[in-house]
Structure 1
Amino acid sequence: METETPADRLPLAHGDRLDWLDRGGKSLPASVRRLAAAPGGVGYVAGEAWTVQAVRHGFVWEAGWDRRSVLTKPF
């Protein structure tokens, strides 16, 4: 889950199972690179279509994740 600061996080029942990403003023693609460096995970990306495409590209083409392990929901 991505937020600008830790104070912006929503209380979730299973929030401890999520990787929270606090941008802290950094761009989203730069922040995603940090998460993508950890291989073997599953990514779920939802958001505006162009953002979802850019993030998926980062996971699959830049970090080498299997494309089937990055689930997307563009809108």
Structure 2
Amino acid sequence: RTFERATSGSASLAARSSVLAAADASLDGRTGLVIGPEARPVAPFRPVTDSRMAEAVLRLSRQLAPLTST
């Protein structure tokens, strides 16, 4: 129930996109797809396609969770 409240859906519904991506041969070699709630590729949320957004996320990721080699 906690998962359903946090995601507005059941775990099985949330898993549909991962199962589709792993099992559907028509998606082989296709990268950058967004799998929607109907388990079909959909257009990405428009702000996500803005290169400035990607740069900002990368910058924050490097700042807040840097990778270090040990």
TM-score, scaled to structure 2: 0.25
TM-score, scaled to structure 1: 0.24
Q: Of the two, which has the highest radius of gyration?
A: 2
The structure with the largest helix share of the pair is: 2
Q: Which has the higher contact order (CA 8 A, sep 6+)?
A: 1
The structure with the largest strand share of the pair is: 1
